Structure 1
Amino acid sequence: MAPAGVTGVNHITLVVTDLSRSVLFYRDVLGCRVRAQWARGAYLEAGSLWLCLELGPTAASADDTHIAFSCARAEFPTLAARITSGARVWKDNRSEGDSVYFLDPDGHKLELHLGDLASRLAHYRDAPPNGFCEI
């Protein structure tokens, strides 16, 4: 029997430098629902995602670390257009499935992606990268 493990994402906390600006971005550009807000933070929902914005100092990372959001296939073009008009794109999509890679107001790297683990694995079965091994 395999040991107990994590079952998914519980929540994500992002440190932001301007709480009001970030709440507006996540609400108005990404369509998150604001559930609570206080002087130094806010809780938002996006589907099953619980997102915490916490006021404090921040620095954007120079690596590929990012958070990817999902949406309904029919909503992707509209949401992608809203994102690209309201946020800076940081990377061109080179992966399987439609994606938009963008920055929030504090430089957190985000992605809107159509697809799931099954579609990604199917893609790599057809065009395996060097050293790919499905377990």
Structure 2
Amino acid sequence: MTFIVRDLDRMQQILTEVLGAVRVYDSGSDTFSLSEERFFLVGAGEAATWVATMRGDGGLPRTYNHVAFQVERADLPGLREKITGLGLEIRPPRSRVEGEGDSIYFYDDDGHLFELHTGSLRERLAVYVPPAEPVE
């Protein structure tokens, strides 16, 4: 996924401090693509997610369009503290179905919405789609 941002350093701070991302590339003044860019890995091993940031016009409207990252429930308080410490806007949570997991939603400085979610897709589907009743 690629995020267009006004400030590459600020987005790097958010990615590394909140998501534990590791920067693996910085184009510097070279522009092999559309503008200066940086690449990050979020997560470990083959399951790591490649996140790119490119310098450009940020300033998106604040909507519910978002990207979600799975986190451990025990990590939520510390993550909330990091997000607040960075001065980022936390969005109020949406209503939840019991067993769906908990989330923190926050905006970066360019209006991208991030979700840190404690549940998995498998767990959510188990809540949303109850098992079929046995056929007699």
**Residue 108 of structure 2 aligns to which amino acid in structure 1?**
D
What is the one-letter code of the residue matched to 1:42? R
Which of 108, 111, 115 is the aligned partner of 2:115? 111
Q: In the aligned structure 2, how far is the partner of 1:125 from the partner of 1:29?
A: 32
- In the other structure, the counterpart of 1:89 is 90
Cross-structure match for 1:69:
69
- What is the CA–CA distance in structure 2 between the aligned matches of 1:63 and 1:21, rounded to whole Å? 21
Gaps (5+ residues) in structure 1?
A: 1-11, 127-135
Superposed CA RMSD = 1.8
Identity within the alignment, %? 34
Size of the aligned set, in residue pairs, is: 115
Secondary structure of 1:25 counterpart: helix
The match for 1:102 among 96, 102, 106 is: 106
Q: 1:71 touches 1:114 (CA, 8 Å); kept in 2?
A: yes
Deviation at 1:113, TM superposition (A): 0.3
Once the two structures are superposed, what CA deviation does each residue of 1:95-124 show, in whole Å capped at 9, x if it has no partner?
A: 331100001121101100011112111222
TM-score w.r.t. structure 2 length?
A: 0.74
Moved over 4 A (4+): none
